[in-house]
């Protein structure tokens, strides 16, 4: 059973471009969480999604950021018009149900976004 797959692992974008980060949850997992880790900072919760639904986006910046988890395919975190401050590691986690705190919730390896 493959783990949580995130791609790309590294992404370089120029200021003003769009960044698309993909997360394929573990097989059988229908709940996805996105976190951002800025340099020298802890992980910050961004958004919690189930298939075709955004459950909690209280951690998402109000502008330029959006997330989706379609019925088919991976979850996508989209950042429009990137700025240097968006440079960070973005982690996705998945779980089989709402219980993120159970031991069956796993993080992916992350996507490291660099904005130049």
Partner 1 sequence: QKEVEQDPGPLSVPEGAIVSLNCTYSNSAFQYFMWYRQYSRKGPELLMYTYSSGNKEDGRFTAQVDKSSKYISLFIRDSQPSDSATYLCAMSAREGGADGLTFGKGTHLIIQP
Applying CB under 8 A, which residues contact partner 1?
4, 33, 35, 40-45, 48, 55-56, 58-59, 91, 95, 98-103, 105-110, 112
On the question of a cis peptide bond just before residue 8, with omega within 30 degrees of 0, the verdict is yes
Phi-psi region of 114 (alpha: psi -120 to 50; beta: other; left: phi over 0): beta
- Nearer CB in complex with partner 1: 1/103: 103
Give min distance, CB of 65 to partner 1, in A: 15
Radius of gyration over every alpha carbon of the chain, rounded to an integer in angstroms: 13
- Nearer CB in complex with partner 1: 18/97: 97
Give min distance, CB of 46 to partner 1, in A: 8
- Nearer CB in complex with partner 1: 14/58: 58
Give min distance, CB of 77 to partner 1, in A: 14
Give min distance, CB of 81 to partner 1, in A: 25
Q: Residue 2 and residue 41: Cα distance in Å, rounded?
A: 28
- Nearer CB in complex with partner 1: 18/56: 56
Non-local (6+) Cβ contacts of 106 within 8 A are 3, 4, 26, 93, 94, 95
Given a contact cutoff of 8 angstroms between Cβ atoms, the answer to whether 96 and 31 are in contact is yes
């Amino acid at each position: 059973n493959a783990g949580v797959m995130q791609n790309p692992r590294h992404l370089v974008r120029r200021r003003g471009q769009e960044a698309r980060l993909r997360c394929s949850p573990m097989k059988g997992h229908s709940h996805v969480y996105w976190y951002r880790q800025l340099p020298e900072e802890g992980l910050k919760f961004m958004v919690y999604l189930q298939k075709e639904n955004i459950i909690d986006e209280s951690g998402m910046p109000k502008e330029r950021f959006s997330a989706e988890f379609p019925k088919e395919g991976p979850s996508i975190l989209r950042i429009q018009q990137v700025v240097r401050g968006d440079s960070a590691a973005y982690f996705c986690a998945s779980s089989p149900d709402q219980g993120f705190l159970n031991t069956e919730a796993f993080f992916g390896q992350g996507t490291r976004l660099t904005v130049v």
